[in-house]
Amino acid sequence: MRLLGAIFRALWVVVVAAIPSLLLPSASQGAVEFALIIGAIIGMFAFFEYGSSTPGFVDFRYAPPYNRFRAFTIAMQVVTITLVCRAVELGLADSVLVNWAQQAAQMLDFEYSPVSMAIDRILLDSRFSDTTAILLVYSITTSFVVGVGMTLAFALILWVFGCSGGRVIAKTLTSGQTYRHFSPMTVGQFPDVCGVTRISISYLESR
């Protein structure tokens, strides 16, 4: 199962990295090859990180469901931005995604808004053509809306269903005794938040 999970994560990274160059009409063959190379490098890192028994970055590997949330959010941002830019490049001004991005940009164009400040900087920069400026505005707006929306959805899921408690093996610094339990929230002497036990530990591993 560990190997299958590592393969799936590696393929996920490669696909997400290659989606923009594969879907955008303006992408050249060199851009596609470069995106595949970068995706393959990152995919190999993810494969060895999740496939090995001794990962290189513990925080990167043992952080469910937060790693999955981050990966899914980034994938959603990449896909939606790519589809919006593809519609603009193809001249589909009446596309649903283009209309949505335009309305979102107008709604978020108020004082002290991050989107508004980014739009002002883009419009003041003479290096950008009209098409490039539109693509940047739509991309920033889409990324902001998707990121905030996914964060709120994730917070709502945690609030409704609670934090996921997994098997935690903790070895204290003082006594050296190892504690094994499956429901950290039910153990009174170990205050717990989202499956992470708040005790002085020298070793923490979730499986």
Q: What is the mean pLDDT of the chain?
A: 76
Are residues 133 and 72 part of one domain?
yes
Instruction: Identify which of 202, 207, 182 has the alpha carbon closest to the alpha carbon of residue 192.
Output: 182
Are residues 156 and 96 part of one domain?
yes
In this predicted structure, what is the pLDDT of residue 199?
A: 37
Are residues 129 and 78 part of one domain?
yes
Band (pLDDT 50/70/90 cuts) for residue 173 is very low
Are residues 108 and 197 part of one domain?
no
Are residues 136 and 114 part of one domain?
yes
Are residues 94 and 155 part of one domain?
yes
User: Phi and psi of 197, rounded to 5°?
Assistant: -80, 130
Into how many domains does the chain fold?
A: 3
DSSP character at residue 63: -
Are residues 55 and 81 part of one domain?
no
pLDDT digits (tens, 9 = 90+) for 10-53: 999 999 999 988 888 888 888 889 999 999 998 998 888 888 77
Domain that holds residue 131: 63-161
pLDDT digits (tens, 9 = 90+) for 90-139: 877 667 888 888 888 888 888 888 888 888 888 887 787 877 888 888 88
Are residues 81 and 13 part of one domain?
no
d(CA 182, CA 64): 15
**Is 70 exceeded by the pLDDT of residue 180?**
no
Are residues 197 and 154 part of one domain?
no
In this predicted structure, what is the pLDDT of residue 55?
A: 65
